[in-house]
A and B are shown apart, each in its own frame.
Chain A
C-alpha cells in the first residue's frame, strides 16, 4: 500500500532522444492509474522506470514518500505482470506463484497457505501441479497475477497484460483485474495501448504522446473535456471527426455547413481565422420532422458507406477538404498511429434508421457539443464552455 509520485521524470537514451520527457504524476494510495498512448509514446518505459528496470535520467520517483531512484527492483517491493507473462517454465504453477516468497525464505507452511489462497482467488487450484507450458493463455495470465498478489507488494504494475489474449478472453480478464484491484485496494499502474481498457479500468488515465504527458483525468473527463486534439483523437471509437473551419464574420464555415456558433465559443476563438472543429460521431442525429433544439445546426450530405452492427450504425459521409488544412491533421494522424485515408465524416446513427449508401440524409448537431481547437497548437479552445 503506497502512493507513487513521479517528479519531472526524464528518460534519455544514449542518442539523447528523450523517450520520457518531464513527466510528473501523482498516483494516490489505492488508485488505479492507467498509462495509455500510441506505441512508442514512452508508457512502458515509464512503467519500467517505476519498477526499476530502467534507469531514471532525471527527476525523482518516490514510493510511499521514499525516493527509490537508486534502489534495485528487488528493494522497491513492487509486483509486476509482464506482457508475455514471464513465467518460469521449469517450475510448476505452485512454485511460480511461490517464487517471490521462496526468495524471502518464508517457512514452507506459510508459503503453502499463501499460494493456496492466491490460487483460490484466481481459480487456479486444480492447476497448481502443472507447468506453464501446459496452460492456456488465460491461465498463464492468471498465474502471472498470482505471482503478483501472493506477496504484500506496495503496488501492482501491469505492462499490457491482456494484449496477448484473444478478444473474448480479454474482456473477461479485464473485469477480473478490475474486481481483484477493487478487492485488494492496492495501488495499480496499468500500461495499455487499448483505449477500451483505459476507459473501463482506470480511476484516472494518463495519456502520453512522444514521451510527454498530455492529460491526466478520469475517463469521463478525458472523453468530454480533452485538452487538445491529440487527446480528443485518441479517446473514442470511432474517433472524433476533425473538420477544418474558416472563421468569417462571426460564422464558422465547415466543409459541410456554415453556421453561427454560440457567443462564448466565438469569444474563445478570438481573432483566429482558421480553427479545427471536433465533433464526436454520436453527437449527430438524423433529422426526422421536428424536434430540433433552437441552436441546432442542420445540414445535408450524401452517405458513402454504411456499417450496421446491430446495436449501432455508422455512416461515412465524404466531403471536399479545403486547401491547406491537411498538415495539422496529417501530423495528428501520424501521432495516433493511423493513416489518413480520405476526408470523411463519421456519424453514429440510430440503428433503427434504414439508411443505404448513396442516400442523402439530413443531419443535425448541437454546436455546444463541439470542440474547437487551435490549428497550430492543437489546444482545445472550448474547455469549460457550456
Chain B
C-alpha cells in the first residue's frame, strides 16, 4: 500500500511540473493563432475565439524572418557537423590514447565551456570587424564551435570509453587498419553518443541569442532568435506580439521534430550483446 501511495505522489508531482513547463509553450501557441486585433480584446481568453493562420502568413511574407530562418539552418547545421566531426576525433583520442597533457586538455575544455560568453562579445565584435568576418556566417560559426566543442568532446569521450577495447582489437586482428576499425566498428557503436552530441550542439546553435545579436547587423547572417527582436507588426500600429509568437512556433518545430526522430537513437544501449553481460 505504501508503495502505491508513493507512486501516486510521483504522478501528481509529474503533472504539476509538466503543467508548469508547458504553460508558456501553450500560451505561445494560442497567441500565435490569435488575430493581431483580437489579442488586445476587452475580455481576454486563453484560447483564441477564432483560430487564424494570419500570423504565419505575416512572418513568412517577411524577408526578415525567411532570411533569418535560412541563416539559422545554415549556421546551425554547418557548426553542428564541424563540431561533431572534430569532437569525434578528439574524444576518441582522449578515450583511447595516453598522451602528455591529456588532463590539461580536458580541464581546459571544461574551462572554456564555463567561460562567460558575455565577456567575449566585445572583443569578438572588434576582432571580427578587423578581420572582415563581422556579420557573416563564418563569424557566428567560429564562436559556436568554440562553445559547442568542449561539451561535445566530454559527452563523446564518455561514450567511447564505454566501448570495450576488444572491439578495436578484434577488428584489427580481423584485418582492419586502425582507421577502418574506427569507422566500421567504433563509430557505429558510438552512434547514440554522436547523435546526442549533434542534437545538443544543434540546439545550442539554434537557440543562441547573444552572439547572434551582437555579431550581426543585417539579414546576411542574422539568425532567428536575433531576428525576432527586430520584428514589427504589419503596420507600425499593430502589435507584433502575435507575429513573434507565430515565428517562435515555427522555430520550435524543427527542435521538436529532431527530438522525436532521434529519441530512440539517443537512448544508449546499442553496445548490449557486444560482450557477455
Contacts and interface: CB of A to CB of B under 8 A. Distances in A.
B169 A74 contact: no
A293 B122 CA distance: 103
A88 B274 contact: yes
Nearest to A144: B170
Contacts of B78: none
A99 B181 CA distance: 11
Nearest to A132: B273
B25 interface: no
A136 to B, nearest CB: 10
Contacts of A88: 167, 170-171, 185, 188-189, 274
21 contacts: A52-B172, A53-B173, A74-B174, A74-B175, A82-B170, A84-B164, A84-B276, A86-B275, A87-B274, A87-B275, A88-B185, A88-B189, A89-B270, A89-B273, A90-B189, A90-B270, A103-B174, A103-B175, A131-B273, A134-B273, A151-B175
Given A74-B173, A88-B171, 7 more contacts: A51-B173, A89-B274, A90-B189, A100-B174, A133-B272, A140-B273, A164-B276
Interface in B188-214: 188-189, 191
Contact of B275 (A53, A84, A131): A84
B256 to A, nearest CB: 28
B271 interface: yes
Interface in B153-178: 164, 166-167, 169-177
A88 B272 CA distance: 10
Q: Which 5 A-B pairs have the closest CB atoms?
A: A133-B273, A86-B170, A84-B275, A86-B166, A100-B174
A52 B177 CA distance: 13
B189 A103 contact: no
Interface in A117-163: 131-135, 137, 140, 147, 151
Interface string A42-81: 0000000001110000000000000000001110011110
Interface of A: 51-53, 72-74, 77-80, 82, 84-90, 99-100, 103-104, 131-135, 137, 140, 147, 151, 164
B229 to A, nearest CB: 45
Best-surrounded residue of A51, A77, A80 (most CB of chain B within 10 A)? A80
B180 interface: yes
Given A84-B166, A88-B167, A90-B188, A103 B176 contact: yes
Contacts of A78: 173
A103 B180 contact: yes
Interface residues of B, number: 25
A88 B167 CA distance: 7
Contacts of B164: 84, 86
A164 B275 CA distance: 10
A78 B188 CA distance: 25
Contacts of B274: 86-89, 132-133
Contact of B167 (A80, A86, A133, A140): A86
Given A88-B185, A137-B276, A82 B169 contact: yes
Contact of A85 (B171, B185, B188, B276): B276
Interface in B95-139: none
Best-surrounded residue of A77, A90, A104, A132 (most CB of chain B within 10 A)? A90
Contact of B169 (A53, A87, A135): A53
Given A82-B169, A84-B164, A84-B166, A89 B272 contact: yes
A106 to B, nearest CB: 11
A104 B275 contact: no
B197 to A, nearest CB: 18
Contacts of B189: 88-90
B160 to A, nearest CB: 15
